[in-house]
Amino acid sequence: MSAPPSDVGSAAADLKGTYNPRKRGRTACTECDKSAVSEDEPPAAYTRALEQRVALLEARLSEQVDQQASDLSQPPTSGIRTQTRNNVLAEAVELLALGNIEAPAYVGASSGLNLALTLGEMVQATVWNKALPFATDASRSGRTDGSGNSRGARAINRQEMVARTAEPPADEHGTALVNVYLNQPQTRYPFLDEREIWDLHAKRMTLNTTPVQQLTKAERFGLFKLYMVYAIGAMLIQLTERNTPTPPENYYMTALQHLFTARESKTTQNVEAMLLLVLYHIRSSSYGIWYMIGLAMRTCIDLGLHTRRHESNLDHNTIQMRRRLFWSVYALERTIAICLGRPLSIPDRQIDVDLPLDPEDEAWGDMTPTQPAGANKKRSFSMSIWLLKMRRIESRIQFSIYRADKPLSALTSKMNQLYQDLESWKTSLSERFADVDLNYPMLHYHRAVRLLIQPFLPLLPPSDPYYLICLRAAGGVCQAHKKLHQSLEYGHSFIAVQHVFVAGITLLYGLWTQQHAIWSYSLSNDIRACSLVLFVMGERAPWVKKYRDAFEVLVNATMEKLENGVNNLAETAAVQMRNVTNSNTDFTTEQFDNLGDGDEGGDAWKVVAELANWIDQPEGSLVWMPDFELLQNLSPM
């Protein structure tokens, strides 16, 4: 295999040291019963809840009348509606997709039936009721199924949703929630108009006290977006172990109520709504979001957002907002699919729409945000363009390397050009943003390098420069996340957990298979950083603990091999399991196989057992590393 440029460095020196992993130890409006609202809720809030319920019932009656009038001419979707009626999130998904059959769609050479016709089956398959991070007693107490979802979780109905209506936040807190959203998700997925969000925030009290029937659909949808911004902001604050006056799920429930009364036919609003729902749920679970983000991408294609010819006769700002929306969906869909080991929705060769304009290269006109300082926001948006360019490289890596039609040995020649593309991106980034802390964008660089090279590790000797490059990149991921967690503003998602965990496992793979040939103090520090980050994540989100514990077991087993030359990872890990479970008994693999779901150490052991097959694969074989979705599904929901 040809080597990368000479400046990547030679293999690590054979350094020896010690590493001590941490030990841890009825349907009329008169049916609205005041008992559905908490006793400490003010009368004004109860009145608004009644008004919301009246509007919901009127909207439902109108839909039923329209449906009866069109039953003979429309496809038979009544079964779909019946299946999801008692699940507010599934109903929201249904609403967003079924709205798509009314308007002209993009028709490609091989267009098929509308996705809405099979939506009912999709909603059932995605288990949306368990993706809803509703604060049940089980979730508060940490009694989960090992995946962040409470055991016995159920769908939330409309009555419960209205009962959880949130009042608009006070000025200081509301501003903080908006800023958290704009400083984090918006800088990565810049599809919202910041001026609109600030304007809605300023008018929130007036809009909230206006009867729903007097609000336009645009105002109702605006309230949906605003409350989703509040919900996501509150979720991010909560993930940094700080308290919020109103729980995130209350803002989320309020947002859904406005969404139900703001139904439109096919517009970009549907895509915005799906993106916001995904950004909320991505903080609590991976279940179902691949389906939702895939639905968002297919809606983009229906609307022609992926091609330039649908931009004719549109004004400059509309074009730019459409591009920002499409590329946000693209970036998030690529990220989620790659994390879960799922196929991508659309190949890049079918996309010809340009990236949004970089505000530092072009006159942005009226699109410059006014709050806070426009210059800082321009720089943040410019960085988001650079991250979109990285997503495009990652997409090419996924299509080129992660495929089932060719063996890996036939794909090694593709590494060089893809690696050079990543290096060119890094060089351009450093030149463009010389005065900016590049820890976060470099995290994406390291992730992409690991994504590119890791599948080839079983084929590479440790002397191959690419081997060391991959391990350095995996270490870079761990160190970058460690630095991010030193900030109180960083709230991780399941994507972050996946990247840190897989990076750490990559380091252990190299150490287990090559031992002292790659050992260095730098490698030891990277493993320590991964362990620390997983520990912090596990303290903030209980579902992460199985990954933290599994990683500790594998670290202990690997160190045992370095010291004593053991050969079987699964057997060695079974002995080391007691260090995590705080047990005084040495376990065998058979005993761990008999552990029930929820037993101490059982979930972590399942992860270890899956990974052992990859790490300890026989020489000459080629076993793919288990994808993160498989690891997530090891504990039944």
For residue range 497-527, list pLDDT tens digits in order: 889 999 999 999 998 888 888 889 999 999 9
Of 189-193, 391-395, 627-631, which gets the smallest average pLDDT? Answer: 627-631
**What pLDDT score was predicted for residue 74?**
42
Confidence category of residue 259, pLDDT binned at 50, 70, 90: confident
Confidence category of residue 621, pLDDT binned at 50, 70, 90: low
Distances (CA, A) of 143 to 289, 541, 606: 23, 12, 18
Sign of CA dihedral 377, 351, 450, 636: positive
pLDDT (tens digit per residue) in 274-329 = 999 999 988 766 667 888 899 899 999 999 999 999 998 899 999 999 999 999 99
CA atoms within 13 A on the CB side of 199: 9
Question: How many residues does this entry show for the chain?
Answer: 637
Tokens, residue 218: 């645009």
Phi–psi pair at 444, nearest 5 degrees: -65, -35
Tell which wins on pLDDT, 596 or 431. Answer: 431
State how far the Cα of 287 lies from the Cα of 125, in Å rounded to an integer: 10
State how far the Cα of 23 lies from the Cα of 538, in Å rounded to an integer: 14
Tokens, residue 550: 């599994």
State how far the Cα of 206 lies from the Cα of 383, in Å rounded to an integer: 35
Enter the DSSP assignment of 311. G
> What residue type is assigned to position 509 of the chain?
Y
Confidence category of residue 422, pLDDT binned at 50, 70, 90: very high
Tokens, residue 287: 């279940």
Residue 454 neighbours by CB under 8 Å, 6+ apart: 470, 474, 502, 506, 625
With H, G, I as helix, E, B as strand and everything else as coil, classify residue 388.
helix
State how far the Cα of 163 lies from the Cα of 553, in Å rounded to an integer: 45
Tokens, residue 223: 């309230």
**What pLDDT score was predicted for residue 436?**
85
State how far the Cα of 160 lies from the Cα of 153, in Å rounded to an integer: 14
With H, G, I as helix, E, B as strand and everything else as coil, classify residue 278.
helix
Confidence category of residue 243, pLDDT binned at 50, 70, 90: confident
Sign of CA dihedral 76, 78, 79, 83: positive
Confidence category of residue 408, pLDDT binned at 50, 70, 90: confident
**What pLDDT score was predicted for residue 53?**
61
Phi–psi pair at 239, nearest 5 degrees: -70, -10
pTM: 0.76
Q: For residue 144, list its beta bridge partners.
A: 150
Enter the DSSP assignment of 324. H
Q: With beta carbons less than 8 A apart as the criterion, state whether 562 and 515 touch.
A: yes
CA atoms within 13 A on the CB side of 517: 12
Residue 56 neighbours by CB under 8 Å, 6+ apart: 158, 162, 257, 260, 261
Residue 467: is its pLDDT beyond 90? Answer: yes
Of 190-204, 264-278, 514-528, 561-575, which gets the smallest average pLDDT? Answer: 561-575
Residue 517 neighbours by CB under 8 Å, 6+ apart: 11, 14, 462
Residue 152 neighbours by CB under 8 Å, 6+ apart: 136, 138
Phi–psi pair at 150, nearest 5 degrees: -70, 140
Q: What is the mean pLDDT of residues 467-482?
A: 96
State how far the Cα of 299 lies from the Cα of 458, in Å rounded to an integer: 40
Distances (CA, A) of 446 to 287, 337, 469, 505: 26, 18, 10, 15
State how far the Cα of 339 lies from the Cα of 358, in Å rounded to an integer: 28
Helical residues (DSSP H) of 43-170, grouped into ranges? 43-70, 78-84, 88-98, 119-126, 128-131, 137-141, 158-163
Residue 585: is its pLDDT beyond 50? Answer: no
Angle made by CA atoms 11, 14, 516, in degrees to the nearest 5: 100
**What pLDDT score was predicted for residue 311?**
92
Tokens, residue 306: 């992926």
State how far the Cα of 410 lies from the Cα of 111, in Å rounded to an integer: 33
Tell which wins on pLDDT, 572 or 443. Answer: 443
